[in-house]
Amino acid sequence: MSKAPWSIRRLRAVDDAQIDGLTDVLIDCVEGGASVSFMHPLSRERAAAFWRRVAHGVAAGERILLIAEDTQGLCGTVQLLLDLPENQPHRADLAKMLVHRRVRRQGLGVALLLAAEAAAREGGKTLLVLDAVTGGDGARLYERHGWQRVGDIPDYALWPRGGFCSTTVYYRNLKQA
């Protein structure tokens, strides 16, 4: 089997160059029409401010941040949110799974998903939860890889250029995986 054209690693601190690369990936996803919390057009300032908040969360141990890099730079990312109520120490939310359009449909999404699940297991987590646009690229990815569909919430969010989209909630029991 040929070697993957990217490598995935966990960042325990996030530097300015990485904020820049993460900003590029987020802006590319929003430009491509992904409903990932932001409206189009997303300025570099707003995108970078988001990643700086993420960086603070990483430094505080409230988030796990994984990045993927290839020869052209940062090309994908995913997070685990750990800052949950004290009665949910076994759980994390999976969030901001983003792959730059230039490397899509080559298996990076699934590689990031498996890496996030492995990081969650290492951290002692046994349950992961996420939400994804109903029937979207992310939803197909999660359903293919063992995530259980809970249900849909109509009109949950807006598409980046306007109009409501439905979200689907999923969970993954890592004890059974």
Ligand X SMILES: CC(C)(COP(=O)(O)OP(=O)(O)OC[C@H]1O[C@@H](n2cnc3c(N)ncnc32)[C@H](O)[C@@H]1OP(=O)(O)O)[C@@H](O)C(=O)NCCC(=O)NCCS
Q: Report if residue 138 touches ligand X, rule: CB under 6 A.
A: yes
Q: Report if residue 41 touches ligand X, rule: CB under 6 A.
A: no
Choice from 61, 73, 107, 135 touching ligand X (CB under 6 A): 107
Number of residues binding to ligand X, judged by CB under 6 A = 19
Tell me the per-residue interface mask from 57 to 96 with ligand X, x by CB under 6 A, - otherwise: ----------------------------------------
The answer to whether the beta carbons of residues 136 and 156 sit under 8 Å apart is no
Q: Report if residue 109 touches ligand X, rule: CB under 6 A.
A: yes
Q: Report if residue 21 touches ligand X, rule: CB under 6 A.
A: no
CB of 22 to ligand X, least distance (A): 13
Q: Report if residue 105 touches ligand X, rule: CB under 6 A.
A: yes
SS3 sequence of the chain: CCCCCCEEEEECCCCHHHHHHHHHHHHHHHHCCCCCCCCCCCCHHHHHHHHHHHHHHHHCCCEEEEEEEECCEEEEEEEEECCCCCCCCCEEEEEEEEECHHHCCCCHHHHHHHHHHHHHHHCCCCEEEEEEECCCHHHHHHHHCCCEEEEEEEEEEECCCCCEEEEEEEEEECCCC
CB of 87 to ligand X, least distance (A): 26
Shortest Cβ contact with ligand X: which residue? 109
> What residues line the site for ligand X (CB under 6 A)?
29, 34, 36, 97-99, 104-110, 132, 136-138, 140-141
